Amino acid sequence: MKPLSDAILNSQKSAIRKLFELLIKSSDGISFGIGQPDFTSPDFVNDEIIKALKEHKTQYAPALGLPTLRRVVAQKFQNENNMKWVETENVMITNGGSQALQLCFATLSNPGDEMILSSPNFLSYIYLASYYHLKLVEVPRLENYAPDLEGIRQSITPKTKFIMINSPNNPTGYVYSKKQMDKLVQIVLENDLYLVSDEVYEKFLYNDHIHISPASYDEMAERTLTLNALSKTFGATGLRLGYVSANKKIIGMMEKYGQYTTAGVNHPTQYGAIEALMKGNPDMPQILQSYNKKRLFSLKRLKELQFDTIEPFGAFYIMPRLNPKWDMTSEVFSNELVKEKHVACVPGNGFGSYSNNSLRISYATSDELLEEGFNRIERFLKKKSLI
């Protein structure tokens, strides 16, 4: 038979999904793996979805999304992200942040173009690059997981099309500072590039760190694609409701692509999204207080267990490096840990070429499971005489 798609055939199955297949076989499994909040969507969001269903709003919605929702998203970008230029025409509603990402890659990419990514970074960026026949240029992060901006500058070639960023970052928890964002914007402008900014963790910030949207810079309006979703802020990963902003021409291209792929977004869910973005999540202050406690606990336990750990200041992940004395790759460590102690941590090699000695741990779980999970990791290390 004739060959199938090389791009898909040669991509790896998600390391996160592999772990869950192992973990699901145990009755007492603890997951530090999935990027999902341990809280769920507010009732006022769910109520609007139920109301829309009862009113039989189950036919196709417009390909760009409901006009009211697009207007609310535009207002959100203006008021919360200081993106004063965004109007309804600059917004498209998507099937989660994942489709927003897909649309960004689809509209920007031609075969042979290059995309620059600080590594480690979210695994979807890596595989989407291959699906859209982009050359992925990974620039290793600095020791503290900060982006190597000078390395990014030096990696630019005439074929470079865009830089992809995610701040606060999955998997490292790193947050861009104002000075770093200023420098990145300067690099983008000097080299006539686009910038794709994934901002789904914008509300998860600690120690007085702030979120900066690159599209808030006046000169970046035409060349920045900003994506977000209800998933993290509203504990609504399963609702699959995202949104993206860009210049009018790019949004028009996204609409065209969407018409022939997904043909629109879940209609009733969009009414819940309107309510969500108008009201915000009233529980976020308490959630952040709780997550900060989990963050500090995880940092403390990892240091006690002799991991090389960088303090994260955003999202809900921590990415420790394995102690070099253990002489073990993260993939071996993760597989043995889940088999022997039923604790799932994602191996770092799923997040790029420069993190084979690292693990991604999500602390978005209950205090009890977090404590028990680390106790099991401690028993695992002691059993193998590593500590």
Q: What percent of the chain has pLDDT over 70?
A: 96
The strand pair at 194-198 and 160-166 is best described as parallel
Structure confidence at residue 27 as a pLDDT band (50, 70, 90): confident
Q: Of 106-110, 259-263, 288-292, give the lowest mean pLDDT range.
A: 259-263
Cβ neighbours of residue 32 closer than 8 Å, sequence gap 6 or more: 343, 344, 345, 346, 361, 362, 363, 365, 373
Task: Cite the residue boundaries of each domain of the chain with CATH code 3.40.640.10.
Answer: 45-279
Structure confidence at residue 21 as a pLDDT band (50, 70, 90): low
* 6-41+283-383 CATH choice from 3.40.50.1010, 1.10.8.290, 3.40.1190.20, 3.90.1150.10: 3.90.1150.10
Q: What percent of the chain has pLDDT over 90?
A: 91
> What was the pLDDT predicted at 5?
85
- What CATH number belongs to 45-279? 3.40.640.10
Q: What sign for the dihedral angle of Cα 100, 106, 108, 113?
A: positive
Structure confidence at residue 200 as a pLDDT band (50, 70, 90): very high
Q: What is the pLDDT of residues 168-187, one digit of tens each?
A: 999 999 999 999 999 999 99
- Burial (CB count <10 Å: 0-12, 13-18, 19+), residue 73: buried
- Using the predicted structure, report yes or no on whether residue 379 has a pLDDT greater than 80: yes
- Using the predicted structure, report yes or no on whether residue 384 has a pLDDT greater than 60: yes
Q: How many CB atoms lie within 10 A of CB 65?
A: 24
Task: Cite the residue boundaries of each domain of the chain with CATH code 3.90.1150.10.
Answer: 6-41+283-383
> What was the pLDDT predicted at 359?
97
